[in-house]
Structure 1
Amino acid sequence: MANPLTALRALIATELADVYTTLPGEIVSYDGVFAIVRPTIAKQLTNGDILTPPQIVRVPVCWPVGDVNGAQALITVPLKPGDPVKLSFCARALESWLDGHNGAPNDPRQFDLSDAFATPMVRPGTMTADTENVSVQYGPATLKLSPAGDLTFNVKKWTVNTDQGTVNGPLTVNGLLTYTEGMKGSGGSGGATIEIDGNVDFRNGTLTHDGKDVGKTHRHPYDGGITDEVL
């Protein structure tokens, strides 16, 4: 007579063979809504045969997302074929939920291979995380936020589109400052002061003071003793 405990263990193992919890996978394709994902670890059967896992279609990808007062917030990264993901398998069938319904599913299956969520991940050995700062990186571009509150980003080119921009504090520009629609300043605790240490090359325009052209008549005492005739 077979050992009842052995028979029970065999039955449990047989049932668990079709229960999925978490598996590594890789992207086959992604359209920004659903992904097709392939689990990357095959199953070995009791007879030694290897069962290659099938592709899973209509896999929702997990991104940080929220909706505050109707303003949707979403953070994503590009996904291409071969990118690694973590597959988490749902305790209920997902078809109804994927179609926008929250009712009970029509299929009683649980932890099935077809009911997966995908979360992008880093495969160990391919990249190293920054262990000191909050970090965002994409190719050669990086953004670092330190525990002290310092923000540093390195990019080849950056563009800001805004209706109004404000910098509260001193601003240092280590490079050429170029503007296209003029420069204007007023107020401040010390008044509107511009200090330039170096040469000033004024071209293609009129230099005025209180609406008067001083570009042609302005002279200094050491320029032959002629003072400004307009100011």
Structure 2
Amino acid sequence: MLQEVTAEIEKTAKAVVNEIHTALPGEIVSFDGATATVKPIGQYVTSDGVSLSYPTITEAPVCFPYCQSAGVGIAFPVKKGDSCIIIISEVELDAWRSGAASEGSLRFDLTSAMVIPGLLDGGSDAAVRATKQNAVIVTGGDTEVIVSGNGCEINAGSTIFKVSDSGVNIEGNVTVVGDVKVGSVSFKNHTHTDSIGGKTQKPE
């Protein structure tokens, strides 16, 4: 009798736990710039012991490193097929979304999912180099920005711009629209004193 009660309690506990969702990997199905539709990876087990695929989750808010009050942050593309982390809120998101009180009492439910894009299943070359160089590396196609204790480098293929404690170094062509000043001397409007004490014309 005691064993039967224990087994029944264990079964009930497992059924409850199986309905508590915390975090799981997922795949982006679509993204509209504000919310994402995501597909959790893996399966869950029902109280009857049946394994089922997770349902697709819609209108999940996406987390970016961004400060809304200051309007400062980083945004990057989120595309169909990208991996992500799906985090399930302990409380419903109604109050956070609209300020209205929650109408239900669902906790750890898939309907209250939030998404962090950028989960890597195989790492990346930029992450490896950033770790080795103790640097922040921002990549965009063939262009990248590297910020480290040695300074900042912008690498755009054949053009490289480096800023360090020793100064600025540019490899490649430079085109300036406007004026360039060295100290207070204008590159466009400066003149020289000629051999008889007069002033030369401005550069053309």
Q: Which residue of 2 aligns with 1:72?
A: 71
Determine which structure has more spread, i.e. the larger CA radius of gyration: 1
Instruction: Confirm whether residue 120 of structure 1 aligns to residue 117 of structure 2.
Output: yes
Q: What's the offset of the Cα at 1:84?
A: 0.7
- Pairing of 1:66-215 with structure 2 (within 5 A): 66-67=67-68, 71-98=70-97, 100-101=98-99, 103-128=100-125, 129=127, 130-131=130-131, 132-146=134-148, 148-156=149-157, 170-187=167-184, 211-213=199-201
Q: What is the alpha-carbon distance in structure 1 between the residues aligned to residue 158 and residue 115 of structure 2?
A: 32
Q: Which residue of 2 aligns with 1:161?
A: none
Structure 1 residue 182 displacement after superposition: 4.4
Distance 1:186 1:152, change over 3 A: closer
Deviates more, 1:39-48 or 1:27-36: 39-48
**How has the CA–CA distance of structure 1 residues 73 and 33 changed in structure 2, closer, same or farther, with 3 Å as cutoff?**
same
Q: Is the 2:27–2:40 contact (alpha carbons within 8 Å) kept by the matching residues of 1?
A: yes
Cα distance in 2, alignment partners of residues 105 and 137 from structure 1: 41
Q: Per the alignment, do residues 211 and 106 of structure 1 end up closer, same or farther by CA in structure 2, a change over 3 Å counting?
A: same
Q: Deviations over 1:38-81 (max 9, x none)?
A: 111122457664312111111000112225xx532121210000
1:94-138: CA deviation from partner (whole Å, max 9, x where unpaired): 23422x20x541111110011101011332314252213222223
What is the aligned partner in structure 1 of residue 162 from structure 2?
none
Q: What letter corresponds to residue 36 of structure 1 in structure 2?
A: T
Q: Secondary structure at the match of 2:144?
A: strand
Q: Percent identity?
A: 26
* 1:32 shift after superposition: 0.7
Matched to 2:92, the amino acid is A
Query: For this pair of structures, how many residues does the alignment match?
Result: 185
Which amino acid letter does the alignment assign opposite residue 116 of structure 2?
A: T
> Is 1:13 matched up with 2:14?
yes
> How far apart in 2 are the matches of 1:74 and 1:176?
30
Distance 1:21 1:120 in 2: 16
The structure in which a higher percent of residues are helix is: 2
TM-score normalised over the length of structure 1: 0.67
Structure 2 unaligned residues grouped into runs of 5+ = 160-164
Letter in 2 for 1:109: L
Q: Structure 1 CA distance, aligned partners of 2:46 and 2:31?
A: 31
- Aligned partners of 1:31, 1:127: CA distance in 2, in Å? 26
Counterparts of 2:16 and 2:104 in 1: how far apart (Å)?
Answer: 18
**Which AA in structure 2 matches 1:21?**
T
Local SS of the residue matching 2:111: coil
* Root-mean-square deviation over aligned CA pairs: 3.2
Q: For the structure 1 residues 15 and 86, does the alpha-carbon distance in structure 2 shift closer, same or farther, using more than 3 Å as the test?
A: same
Distance 1:44 1:121 in 2: 27
Shift of 1:214: 10
Higher share of residues assigned strand: 2
